[in-house]
Amino acid sequence: MRFSAAAAAFLALSTHAARADDFYKDKVISIIVSTGASGSYDGAARTLARFMPKYISGQPSIVVKNMPGGGHTLATNFIVNNSPQDGTTIGNIGNTIPMHQMVDGRGVRFDVAKFHWLGSMGLSNLALYFWHATGFKSIDEAFTREITLGATGAGSGTFLYPNAMNKVLGTKFKIITGYRTGTEVDLALLRGEAQGRAGVSYSNIAQLHPDWLREGKLNIVAQIGLVRDATMKDAPLIHELAKSEEARQVLRFISSPGAAGRPYFAPPGTPADRVAILRNAFDAVMADKEFIAEGEKQVLDIVPIKAAEIERLVQETVKTSPDILEKVRAIVKTDGE
């Protein structure tokens, strides 16, 4: 009897594993990216989609779909509430989403604490820059005159960081929202609708606009992160501009999402065995020499971050004390709320 029970259990496990291995044969996995069809998020996701199938039994096809809007909430809501929960959907969302859920919450129909994180790539501080034609070359300018910045939605770094700087530091940024993608914000610079932009990674700029860097068309005046990025070493971190310890702590808190890079996750209903398959495949791609070489070629700034670390960072955000959250909410909320 004991042998039969053990044999039955082993057979059940083997059958379950076989089903998990066979599941992806002839399947199509969708990577839904919360940004437009350009930039570091999109470029990295499309490169990942080329390499990841060979590390998944059954070698499914992987396609990338872009769903920008709402400061990354549009895509996140869709992935959690409207996409298949069977292991054929992967989300690649803005790293500000966990903080947006806790601090703002507008448009949120999800709980990041329930996401199955697969890992992340890319660890690059965000920049705040002025367009060269404005003649503004220092962050000091923003304390004495109104400077117009283009932005997407309230959940995105393009709005979050300059708005917080206005409330905490006293800068005079006029933030124009409504642009669907970062590319539209960049076009606004060329048309003279905006004078600058915040919340864009240096690697994104280097990938999309190397000529802007080479020709000195951007004046990077501040950066968002926890430690200065050597590529922008002369630009201060925004929390370094704080005049009080409380202000410094608040600005450090809102600067922390960058530590999560460009995170990937499977929606909450995804079976555990398929989450494991996707995590293992993601990790394998991050160690793939051809993938790394391709990332360098495309200037994708690929710095792998394990799923467990993303989970830790997200849980740290979710468990932030109510006192700190209230202070942050009072600072980052928009006028008129």
Q: Where are the beta strands (DSSP E) in 132-254?
A: 147-150, 173-176, 196-201, 218-224
Question: 233-247 pLDDT, tens per residue?
Answer: 899 999 999 999 889
| Amino acid in the structure at residue 182 | G
Q: Find out whether 303 and 123 touch, Cβ atoms under 8 Å.
A: yes
Mean pLDDT, rounded, for 199-211: 87
94: burial class by Cβ within 10 Å (0-12, 13-18, 19+)? buried
Domain ranges of the chain: 18-123+261-326, 126-257
Q: What is the pLDDT of residue 14?
A: 47
Q: If one looks up domain 18-123+261-326 in CATH, what number appears?
A: 3.40.190.150
Q: Find out whether 98 and 155 touch, Cβ atoms under 8 Å.
A: no
Mean pLDDT, rounded, for 41-53: 95
Alpha carbon of residue 146 to chain centroid: 28
User: In this predicted model, which residue has the larger pLDDT, 333 or 93?
Assistant: 93
Mean pLDDT, rounded, for 17-35: 85
Fold topology of 126-257:
D-Maltodextrin-Binding Protein; domain 2 (3.40.190)
In the chain, % of residues over pLDDT 90: 66
Topology alike, domains 18-123+261-326 and 126-257: yes
Q: What is the pLDDT of residue 74?
A: 95
Angle in degrees, CA 287, 288, 294, rounded to 5: 120
Question: Is residue 15 over pLDDT 60?
Answer: no
pTM over 0.85: no
Q: What is the pLDDT of residue 164?
A: 92
Paired tokens of 322: 């109510």
> How do 147-150 and 262-266 pair as beta strands?
unpaired
Q: What is the pLDDT of residue 17?
A: 47
Residue recorded with tokens 């996409």: 83
Question: 110-159 pLDDT, tens per residue?
Answer: 999 999 999 999 777 899 999 999 999 999 999 999 999 999 877 678 99
